Amino acid sequence: MTPGSPPAPSVSPPAAATTPLIAWLRTVLLACVLIPVAIFVMVAWWGLGRAQSDAQATARRATQFAAEHARNTLDIAAEIAQITARLTSGTDEEIDRQEPAIRQRLADISVGLPIVVNLNVWDAQGRPLVRSDAPPERSGLVRDREYFARLRDTPQQLAPYHGFTLSEVIVGRQTGRELMNLAMRRPDRDGRFDGVIGVSLAPAFFRDYYRSLTEENRRISTLALVRSDGTLLARWPPPPDGRKRMAADNPVLPRILAGEAEGVDSRSHDGGRATRLVSFRQVPGYPAYVVAGLDRGAVFAQWRHFLLLLGGALTAITIVLVSVCWLALRKTRQETAASLALRDEIRRRSAAEKAMLESQRLETLAVLTGSVAHDFNNLLAIVNTSLHVHTRKHPGEAGEPQIRAMSRAIRSGARLTRQLLSFSGKQALQPEPIALQEWLPATAELIRTTLGPQVALRQEVAASTGTIRVDPGELELALINLAVNARHALPDGGHFTITAEDTADGQVQLRVQDDGVGIPAHVLPRVLEPFFTTRERGTGSGLGLSQVQGLMQQSGGSVEIRSEPGAGTCIDLRFPRLGDAAQAEQAEDATPLTLAGRVLLVEDNDEVAQATAEMLAAAGLRVRRASHPREALDMLAAEALPDVVLSDIAMPGDMNGIAFAFRLREMHPGLPVILATGYAEQLQHAVQGGLEVLSKPLSPEYLLRRLQELMQERRP
């Protein structure tokens, strides 16, 4: 518009926009689109359900047939193994004398069975005693075979699957043929391990059967027999890449590892698009599963053809109806209103898509930040331990500005990783010094809210109370759990008292007391057990006091509960006093610790392991390093025991640091173990099991002090 010109006329919908005829035409137009679409969607959904049901039924039938075939085959092999065990129940010397006769009996048993390659009996050292197809070669030892070691190291009473185990597919050292062994323990007259009995089976027998099933039903693309740990035993068609384990992205692999008996899932690849249907079923009584894969393209081909016909017919009808209504609407003056409505719909959909993308972005970011923080923790550990070694070798440089700047940067990095792990939901406990004179009053309002208006709160902290080291969030949660218990113990109101003071033995005692109904004497020994609760079903989880105990164990303290019915409950939380320890820590900065002893370091990251080993060696310790728990167990079995074991939690393979620590507790009850982690979903499990866990990045000074304490406790 130019100056002095009249205003442009406003564009507004004509009056006909509000007439019943226009409204009716809009309704008809909408119905002409939605009704065919609804019909198409409902019929397509129904057809999809039928196709999926048929596909799942086909997959289940295939795995059922294959699992029954595998069970019958393995039952035959197991019966042969039992017969072999009876034939070779004598001593090794008796078997050597009767070897020709026993061999002939075994050959008679296996004749006519295409699945059986041969039968073998080995002594306790893995030396062959007898085989069904030829005299044994005395040099053909099998003690290095995985199945032999498993049967040797597993007591008979703890062996699953009735004492049988399946080996991976191997090439026989005596036959030179591809085979897998169904093996059982061979006990002596006293029940001790005296060798292994193995029935060697031909994987080709299973492959031929699976090939016949796939030829009968073309929708079945793959059939495989796998061990319960995901190891491939037989597959048709054979894996094109020659792999010996199930693919890592196969969604049924975690379910098989979790021990599920059967199930159906979709296998995804090519950018997340599901292209296969996978069914699995356990072979009853054996550590094996049958897995069948169906090609979704073949499964839903008929359904897609039907959809093309239906879509074509409905599209033609929809075009005709919409055209008629559109011609009627074009005679109206409401194109502008219709256009605005369409733009509004586009904006709404765009906003919804943006919200969904933002949610996915945040979820992905949380996963990435957790992984980045874990890796950054490892980098900090390398830098921190290397800096410690440097200052130990050059104590005169400890006060240099550059050294102090590096120390501040390491602490800042540790705080940053803690924030990242908090965002990703994988944060481990982070103890820090707490002065109860300042910290406890700050929690009063939260605890008072938890108790409710009928329970009076009283807090008293002695002025001389020492400093403690504890995760403040976990300590606050522990007090809230105790306050919740007190509220339930005081239905008619009462008093809840928290006091803090130093004890005569140099500890800091935090006493929590109420004057409620108390705890019966027969219940008191069990109150710290996880999931144990005296409340009504649905009103308590039984994890409150268990969390308190876990916190005290990880903080190096103890918990004591005293209670009498009608006289209330008193809970004492005792923490190590930090005052003297903090002074000792400062003294250690000037005079580094010098230790003597042996440490077994279990760490999969080479750089972290090297830096940690150098730091420990600089302190005077002798360090042996294992890259995973299995290697560490082998080293412990072959060498003298170390004084302390230091292990990471997140480890490759089938055993993480927590499982490794529990195994060491069973094998060597007196051997101290320290676990380290930046984040650990199983941290609560470790703490409840009495394991000591330190948070990454490790403080070299604190780690060395803890190693010194553990070695002093272990030595007489």
Model confidence pLDDT, tens digit, residues 301-338: 777 888 888 888 888 888 888 888 777 777 765 566 66
Q: Each residue of 21-45: pLDDT tens digit?
A: 777 777 887 888 888 888 888 888 8
Q: Round to whole Å and give the CA distance between 648 and 657.
A: 6
Identify the weakest region by mean pLDDT among 241-250, 426-435, 635-644. Answer: 426-435
Average pLDDT over residues 168-192: 87
DSSP H stretches of helix in 558-682:
579-590, 606-618, 629-638, 657-667
Q: Round to whole Å and give the CA distance between 421 and 427.
A: 5
Q: Look at the alpha carbons of 693, 695, 698, 700 in this order and tell me if their dihedral is positive or negative.
A: negative
Name every residue whose Cβ is closer than 8 Å to that of residue 492 and which is 6 or more positions away in sequence: 454
Q: What pLDDT score was predicted for residue 6?
A: 38
Q: Round to whole Å and give the CA distance between 291 and 275.
A: 16
What is the bridge-based pairing of β-strands 468-470 and 432-434? antiparallel
DSSP label at 7?
Answer: P
How would residue 9 be classed by pLDDT, with cut points 50, 70 and 90?
Answer: very low
Q: Round to whole Å and give the CA distance between 44 and 266.
A: 20
Tell me which of 484 and 270 has the higher pLDDT. Answer: 484
User: Virtual CA dihedral for 439, 441, 443, 447, nearest 10 degrees?
Assistant: 150
Q: What are phi and psi of 4, to 5 degrees?
A: 85, -5
Q: Each residue of 288-300: pLDDT tens digit?
A: 999 998 877 766 7
Q: What pLDDT score was predicted for residue 199?
A: 93
Task: Look at residues 499, 500, 516 and name the one whose alpha carbon lies nearest to residue 569.
Answer: 516
Q: What pLDDT score was predicted for residue 133?
A: 85
Q: What pLDDT score was predicted for residue 333?
A: 57
SS3 695: strand
Q: What pLDDT score was predicted for residue 138?
A: 73
Rg of the chain over CA atoms, in angstroms? 36
Task: Look at residues 78, 82, 242, 229 and name the one whose alpha carbon lies nearest to residue 168.
Answer: 229
What is the bridge-based pairing of β-strands 455-461 and 673-677? unpaired
Region for residue 137 given its phi and psi (left: phi exceeds 0; alpha: psi -120 to 50; beta: otherwise) = beta
Examine the pLDDT at 270 and tell me if it is beyond 50. Answer: no
Identify the weakest region by mean pLDDT among 47-61, 233-247, 258-272, 514-528. Answer: 258-272
What is the bridge-based pairing of β-strands 170-171 and 178-187? antiparallel
How would residue 583 be classed by pLDDT, with cut points 50, 70 and 90?
Answer: very low
Q: Round to whole Å and give the CA distance between 433 and 417.
A: 19
Q: What pLDDT score was predicted for residue 161?
A: 67
Residue % of the chain over a pLDDT of 70: 79
Highest mean pLDDT among 230-234, 311-315, 401-405, 546-550: 230-234
pTM over 0.85: no
Examine the pLDDT at 534 and tell me if it is beyond 50. Answer: yes
Identify the weakest region by mean pLDDT among 113-127, 248-262, 424-438. Answer: 424-438
What is the bridge-based pairing of β-strands 116-122 and 193-201? antiparallel
Examine the pLDDT at 682 and tell me if it is beyond 70. Answer: no
Task: Look at residues 78, 92, 430, 532 and name the one whose alpha carbon lies nearest to residue 286.
Answer: 78
Identify the weakest region by mean pLDDT among 83-92, 155-164, 659-668. Answer: 155-164
Cβ atoms of residues 674 and 710 within 8 Å:
yes
Average pLDDT over residues 646-675: 88
Identify the weakest region by mean pLDDT among 239-248, 439-448, 537-546. Answer: 537-546
Q: Round to whole Å and give the CA distance between 136 and 127.
A: 9
Q: Round to whole Å and give the CA distance between 287 and 225.
A: 11
Prior bond to 576 cis, omega within 30? no
How far, CA to CA in Å, does 415 sit from each of 97, 418, 473? 72, 5, 15
Strand ranges (E), 162-236: 164-166, 170-171, 178-187, 193-201, 220-227, 232-236
Residue with tokens 């900065």: 589
Identify the weakest region by mean pLDDT among 68-77, 390-399, 457-466, 665-674. Answer: 390-399
Cβ atoms of residues 548 and 559 within 8 Å:
yes
How would residue 520 be classed by pLDDT, with cut points 50, 70 and 90?
Answer: confident
Identify the weakest region by mean pLDDT among 210-219, 377-386, 443-452. Answer: 377-386
Examine the pLDDT at 452 and tell me if it is beyond 50. Answer: yes
Q: Say how far residue 506 (Cα) sits from the centre of its chain.
A: 40
Q: Round to whole Å and give the CA distance between 247 and 206.
A: 20
**Stated length of the chain:** 716
Q: Look at the alpha carbons of 405, 410, 411, 416 in this order and tell me if their dihedral is positive or negative.
A: positive
Residue 636's Cβ-side half-sphere holds a number of Cα atoms within 13 Å equal to 24
Examine the pLDDT at 71 and tell me if it is beyond 90. Answer: yes
Q: Round to whole Å and give the CA distance between 26 and 230.
A: 59
How would residue 274 be classed by pLDDT, with cut points 50, 70 and 90?
Answer: very low
Highest mean pLDDT among 245-259, 367-381, 519-533: 245-259
Q: Which tokens in the block code for residue 511?
A: 């006493």
Element (H, E) at 130: strand 128-131
Give the chain's mean pLDDT.
80
